[in-house]
Amino acid sequence: MPPARLPRPLILASASPRRAGLLGRLGLTFSIVPSEVEEVRRPGEPPEEFARRIAREKAFSVASRVGSGLVIGCDTIVVVDGEALGKPSDEAEARRMLGRLSGRAHRVISGVAVAEQPGGRMEDAVVSTKVWFKTLAAGEIEEYVATGEPMDKAGAYGIQELGMLFVSRIEGDHNNVVGLPVFTLARILEKFGVRWFGR
């Protein structure tokens, strides 16, 4: 793993094992302090701004509770027909979401933000990836929902797990679909003095 020099402790404001796994693959040492931000979209709020705002709120929320650190906040949503799909509340909603994604393209949008403490400086970005689903038979949806995999994932699928069987192609950052746009995050961290490969 490439060693990275961190000017401050790194903190991930998320309990997502997928985000922690991607961040760990960068060879970074970090702690996890989940945020308690409610992910509610405001009336008329564009999906990109919704994801950006929640990411910033998560980063700020945790940064305000720590003495020193670079706090990473992230929010990922699935957007189809202009509607943001979050995590399904139950199996019936998971089936409806998968039915809407079947045989068509959708966008996966992530807001990612880094807040510095002390100082309060924040940098953020929004990343969008286009994903195409194959046409799903009713039985496929039913059996996939029965695995339980869709229940904690935006849009009711996980591209890094069995959900990959539904994805015919993607355009953009694959890691963004998993839940953390690593390339963009690395560029943000560089603005705070994080260096890769001895740079």
- Summarised one tens digit per residue, pLDDT across range 57-99 is 999 999 999 989 999 999 999 999 988 898 899 999 999 999 9
CA distance 19 to 180: 6
Q: Tell me the catalytic residues.
A: 75
- Summarised one tens digit per residue, pLDDT across range 107-121 is 999 999 999 999 889
Flag whether the pTM goes above 0.85: yes
Average confidence (pLDDT) over 9-32: 91
* Count of C-beta atoms within a 10 Å radius of residue 72: 27
192 alpha carbon, distance to own chain's centre: 21
Angle at 83 between CA 105 and CA 20, to 5 degrees: 75
Residue 1 predicted with pLDDT over 70: no
Mean of all residue pLDDT scores within the chain: 92
Q: For the domain that residue 78 is a member of, what is the CATH number? A: 3.90.950.10
CA distance 183 to 87: 24
Select the more confidently predicted residue: 130 or 36.
130
Average confidence (pLDDT) over 35-50: 92
**Enclosing domain of residue 187:** 4-196
Q: Tokens at residue 59, please?
A: 């980063």
Compute the half-sphere exposure of residue 178: CA atoms within 13 Å on the CB side of its CA.
16
- DSSP state at residue 163: G
Phi-psi category of residue 133: left, alpha or beta, with phi > 0 → left and psi -120 to 50 → alpha: beta
The answer to whether the CB of 1 falls within 8 A of the CB of 26 is yes
One-letter amino acid at 161 equals E
In this structure, what are the phi and psi dihedrals at residue 17, rounded to the nearest 5 degrees? Answer: -65, -25
Structurally, the chain folds into a number of domains equal to 1
Residues 6+ apart with CB under 8 A from 61: 13, 35, 36, 37, 73
Q: Tokens at residue 13, please?
A: 């404001």
* Count of C-beta atoms within a 10 Å radius of residue 130: 13
Residue-level pLDDT at 180: 95
Average confidence (pLDDT) over 125-139: 98
